[in-house]
Amino acid sequence: MSARNHRLPRHLTWPLRPRDVRIALGIGPEADLDLSFDDRPWRDGTLLHAEWLPPRPSNYGTGTDPASWNGLRFRIAPTTTAVSHENGLRVVLIHHAIPQLGAWATAALSAPEGWTLSAHSRSWRFTEKHVQYRDDLRPYPELPVQAVRR
């Protein structure tokens, strides 16, 4: 998704579109979706982030919208335009991260009550031609070091 007519500087672009997330979740354009687009890249390279928000123990007097009391929230972070085009980033994310996002969201919605009572998240990033994910904001796993042949 280009930065033109949006709030991003020209050297940044969002690697996914709302339609990509909706397809992963199996919902149409008319369904509510808590999806936001960040205006700065994450320091650790995260491009896609999904969160499970547990039910609030009390909603009396907080002034929050009932739709945000619990459920799923999604965020897409920008990346540099050069990285996005050079690696075909959108295609890679659609083939690897988007199916994982759909499976994670489905599991979250049908999880047992014990799991749903606490916050959970899954994040994806792209490094060195690999898509990595992490759960609950733990550090990303280290990539295997490949031996250099001379």
**Per-residue confidence band for 32, with pLDDT thresholds at 50, 70 and 90:** confident
Domain boundaries defined on the chain: 12-56+67-135
Q: How far apart are CA 55 and CA 129, in angstroms?
A: 37
Predicted confidence (pLDDT) at residue 62 exceeds the cutoff of 80: no
Question: What is residue 40's predicted lDDT score, i.e. its pLDDT?
Answer: 93
**Per-residue confidence band for 147, with pLDDT thresholds at 50, 70 and 90:** very low
Structure tokens at 64: 């929050």
SS3 67: helix
Give residue-wise pLDDT tens across range 120-141: 999 999 987 789 999 999 999 9
Angle at 75 between CA 69 and CA 77, to 5 degrees: 155
Q: How far apart are CA 101 and CA 24, in angstroms?
A: 7
What's the chain's average pLDDT? 85
Q: What are the CA-CA distances from residue 118 to residues 36, 51, 52, 144 (Å)?
A: 22, 11, 8, 32
